[in-house]
């Protein structure tokens, strides 16, 4: 059974159509949209500021979502995939974004819509990731513009697949 508990009187708000893995942890001021999936060993800690997820967000195995005390909440838009072991901390992720496996997005960053953060990238504090671009490296820099094909074949495909995968785990 997942750990879902209040912190300072604030209980996570999780719609019934979301999937939460048995060993995920979601605490405090967390608000989730519809069709979200939170996978194994994921931690979403809304203890020091709020965390808000849009619709159809998947947070994959081992990822950590947190914020910065009183200064930087975490806002995640719709149709967002956060890859295995990624860290998303005190930042804003707009709609239709793929955050690659093992990447880190730091405080006060903004990742604009239709963008990809490559696996292993480190997006440093205050970075603005331009809409329609791919950022990679340490520190992450723009490496190219994203194509419509990548938006459909990667960003949308992965988000849609995770809605499907979560359905497998909801079955008795």
**Which CATH number goes with the domain that contains 19?**
2.160.10.10
Contact residues for 84 (Cβ-Cβ < 8 A; gap 6+): 60, 61, 62, 63, 101, 102
And the tokens for 109?
């960053």
């005190």: which residue's tokens? 90
Whole-number pLDDT of residue 78: 98
Neighbouring C-beta atoms of residue 171, cutoff 10 Å: 5
Query: Cα-flanking dihedrals φ and ψ of residue 152, to 5°?
Result: -75, -45
Domain count, the chain: 1
Whole-number pLDDT of residue 116: 97
Per-residue pLDDT in tens (0 to 9) along the chain, 172 residues: 999 999 999 999 999 999 999 999 999 999 999 999 999 999 999 999 999 999 999 999 999 999 999 999 999 999 999 999 999 999 999 999 999 999 999 999 999 999 999 999 999 999 999 999 999 999 999 999 999 888 888 999 999 999 999 999 987 6
Partners of 26 in the beta sheet? 4, 44
Q: How does DSSP assign 10-31, residue by residue?
A: B--B--TT-EE-TT-EEEEEEE
Question: If we measure between CA atoms, which residue out of 63, 24, 70 comes closest to residue 47?
Answer: 70
CB 67 within 8 A of CB 50: yes
Whole-number pLDDT of residue 152: 83
Give exposure, 91-112, as e/b (b: 16+ Cβ within 10 Å).
bbbbbbbbbbbbbbbbbbbbbb
Q: Residue 95 sits in which domain range?
A: 3-170
């Amino acid at each position: 059974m997942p750990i879902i508990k209040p912190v300072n009187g604030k209980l996570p708000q999780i719609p019934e159509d979301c999937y939460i893995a048995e060993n995920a942890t979601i605490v405090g001021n967390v608000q989730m949209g519809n069709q979200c999936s939170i996978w194994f060993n994921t931690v979403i800690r809304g203890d020091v500021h709020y965390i808000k997820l849009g619709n159809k967000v998947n947070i994959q195995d081992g990822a950590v979502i947190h914020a910065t005390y009183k200064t930087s909440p975490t806002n995640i838009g719709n149709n967002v995939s956060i890859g295995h072991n990624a860290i998303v901390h005190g930042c804003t992720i707009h709609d239709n974004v793929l955050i690659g496996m093992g990447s880190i997005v730091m405080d006060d960053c903004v990742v604009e819509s239709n963008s990809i953060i490559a696996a292993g990238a480190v997006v440093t504090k205050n970075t603005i990731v331009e809409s329609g671009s791919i950022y990679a490296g340490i520190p992450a820099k723009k490496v190219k513009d994203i194509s419509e094909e990548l938006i459909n074949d990667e960003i949308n495909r992965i988000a849609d697949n995770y809605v499907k995968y979560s359905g497998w785990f909801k079955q008795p």
